[in-house]
A = this chain, B = another copy of it.
Amino acid sequence: MTGAHGLRARLLGIDTHAETVVFLRKDCSVCRSEGFTSHNRILLSAGDRHAIATLYQVESDFLNCVEAGLSDATWQALGVAEGDLITARHAPPVESLGLVRSRIFGHALDERAFGRIIPDIVAGRYSALEVTSFITACATKPLAQDEVCFLTRAMVGAGKRLDWHGQVIADKHSVGGLPGNRTTPIVVSLCAALGLMMPKTSSRAITSPAGTADTMETLAPVALDEQALRAVVGQEGGCIVWGGAMQLSPADDILIRIEHALDIDSEGQMIASILSKKIAAGATHLVIDMPVGPTAKVRGAAAADSLTAGLSAVAEAFGIRIKVMQGDGNQPIGRGIGPALEARDVLAVLQGRPDAPQDLRARALALAGGLLELCGKAPAGQGTILASTALDDGRAWSKFQRICAAQGGMRVPPQARHRRALAASHAGVLESIDNRRIARLAKLAGAPYAKAAGIELHVRLGDQIAAGTALCTLHAEAEGELAYALSYAEANPDIFGVT
């Protein structure tokens, strides 16, 4: 209604995550005539495609007066090519923001409200500040259980949903916060080998040194589309692929980025995040791995029990059978931290090698056993035993190799060129490992971008350590990253608590 102006699209190649941003010259005729100021929300149109973007005004020459400099997200949302004509005007009010404000001012939201807010977030109609405000409001006045259900349903509805035509679909999720703990490839191989259908979609790392998709990618291709996924699952009963191309609960990807930036994990949002992904993937039976420990994501028994109750209630509302399996979150599981290093742990367990990390083996067997029982493939209390036979007789390893082949061919995880052991400065008993800082150390060494980088642990809690014992080995692809991780390790000698 208030006019429109021609600008030329220019890709600035700026990564702002999901937030759509546009840069315009402060002195351009559009800014002057529209009365735009920085932080305004601007409706950009290119042909019949539209995107709302946050404006930053520019007063220097890297941009000229007829250019609209676009961030990556804006570029993709508009689907333009360099130099395409774009018009800009004030964005119309986003009506659902009134609902967010109403929640801030004390009112609970109903199903219709979440059903309007979430699609607007997915469509990019909210600025990052507005998403932040929504997340904070839902944490400060915690979501009631019905609100969690509404949010979950809205998140599922705002993306694609895989339909398995009434079949039993097994799934597994880890609440996270524990480095290593790469049970998924083992659990999928076991369950598929024992007759469950388990089309597992996983994420890449957001803040951790490796996501399941990062690790699996060192063993086989993971970027499959839905058709390819269905072909693998149809043939092998299971897969381990990256879910990012599937558009399952895309709202979750947006919310989780901002929750990480804020370091806020509210229980209600965590439940909606986990379950919306699983419902969208078509899960009917779900095992949740919940490590509990002082430096894990879930830090104590009270939080664990509350989250377990919440997950169970909401899963039930959606007709999903769920089993939450709390476990020891005091130290990493497995030896490797980082994509390839974790992949080698997975191979060692699947191949039944004597040097395989026993904690990883035990945790994977417990989770697979739980899932087998939940799906009625094993009597209560017998799941782990059933799983261990399929691991020991090579069926799981064989299944894993066939899944890798079906996904595009098995690969050998890369080895890092640069390694350095970290030695204990004094003798004693290993009393603690700081999960957060050991993850940080692995990231400084290059994980997850450098696939071979990370940490190889040589000790476990309770071990007697002599002075000079190697506690772990840093793996890096670049010498600079090795040096970098080393300096962090030197500055943080208490990552390993030896007393």
- Contact call B129/A258, Cβ cutoff below 8 A: yes
Query: A261 contacts which chain B residues (CB < 8 A)?
Result: 39, 127, 129
Given A12-B58, A58-B13, A129-B128, CB of A264 within 8 Å of CB of B3: no
Task: Tell me how far the C-beta of A128 lies from the nearest C-beta in chain B, rounded to whole angstroms.
Answer: 6
Query: A266 contacts which chain B residues (CB < 8 A)?
Result: 104-105
Task: Tell me how far the C-beta of A263 lies from the nearest C-beta in chain B, rounded to whole angstroms.
Answer: 7
The reply to whether the CB of A60 lies closer than 8 angstroms to some CB of chain B is yes
Roughly how many angstroms separate A261 CA and B103 CA in the complex, as a whole number?
17
- Contact call B129/A58, Cβ cutoff below 8 A: no
Closest to A34 in B: B484
The reply to whether the CB of A108 lies closer than 8 angstroms to some CB of chain B is no
Closest to A492 in B: B1
Closest to A2 in B: B488
**How many residues of A are in contact with the other chain, CB < 8 A?**
65
Given A14-B23, A140-B141, A257-B39, CB of A3 within 8 Å of CB of B129: no
Roughly how many angstroms separate A16 CA and B57 CA in the complex, as a whole number?
8
Query: A129 contacts which chain B residues (CB < 8 A)?
Result: 128-129, 132, 258, 261-262
- Contact call B3/A104, Cβ cutoff below 8 A: no
- Contact call B136/A3, Cβ cutoff below 8 A: no
The reply to whether the CB of A32 lies closer than 8 angstroms to some CB of chain B is yes
The reply to whether the CB of A145 lies closer than 8 angstroms to some CB of chain B is no
- Contact call B264/A101, Cβ cutoff below 8 A: yes
Roughly how many angstroms separate A105 CA and B101 CA in the complex, as a whole number?
19
Residue from the list B57, B130, B135 in contact with A14, Cβ < 8 A = B57
- Within 17-74 of A, Cβ neighbours of B (below 8 Å) are at 17, 23, 26, 29, 32-35, 38-39, 56-60, 62, 71-72
Task: Tell me how far the C-beta of A107 lies from the nearest C-beta in chain B, rounded to whole angstroms.
Answer: 11
Given A101-B263, A101-B264, A262-B129, CB of A11 within 8 Å of CB of B60: yes
Roughly how many angstroms separate A241 CA and B362 CA in the complex, as a whole number?
73
The reply to whether the CB of A350 lies closer than 8 angstroms to some CB of chain B is no
Task: Tell me how far the C-beta of A24 lies from the nearest C-beta in chain B, rounded to whole angstroms.
Answer: 11
The reply to whether the CB of A289 lies closer than 8 angstroms to some CB of chain B is no
Roughly how many angstroms separate A32 CA and B443 CA in the complex, as a whole number?
11
Residue from the list B2, B34, B137, B443 in contact with A35, Cβ < 8 A = B443
Closest to A481 in B: B33
Task: Tell me how far the C-beta of A38 lies from the nearest C-beta in chain B, rounded to whole angstroms.
Answer: 4
Residue from the list B56, B132, B141 in contact with A132, Cβ < 8 A = B132
Q: A231-272 vs B: 1/0 string, CB under 8 Å?
A: 000000000000000000000000001100111101000000
Task: Tell me how far the C-beta of A468 lies from the nearest C-beta in chain B, rounded to whole angstroms.
Answer: 24
The reply to whether the CB of A109 lies closer than 8 angstroms to some CB of chain B is no
Q: A403-427 vs B: 1/0 string, CB under 8 Å?
A: 0000000000000000000000000
The reply to whether the CB of A302 lies closer than 8 angstroms to some CB of chain B is no
Given A1-B487, A139-B104, A139-B105, CB of A35 within 8 Å of CB of B446: yes
- Contact call A263/B60, Cβ cutoff below 8 A: no
Which A residues contact B (CB, under 8 angstroms)? 1-3, 11-17, 23, 26, 29, 32-35, 38-39, 56-60, 62, 71-72, 97, 101, 103-106, 127-130, 132-133, 135-137, 139-141, 257-258, 261-264, 266, 443-444, 446, 449, 478, 480-481, 483-484, 487-488, 491-492
Extra pairs beyond A2-B487, A32-B478, A104-B140 (12, CB < 8 Å): A1-B488, A2-B484, A13-B58, A15-B26, A15-B59, A35-B443, A97-B263, A103-B140, A105-B266, A129-B258, A129-B261, A136-B137
Closest 5 CB pairs of A and B: A13-B60, A1-B491, A13-B59, A140-B140, A136-B136
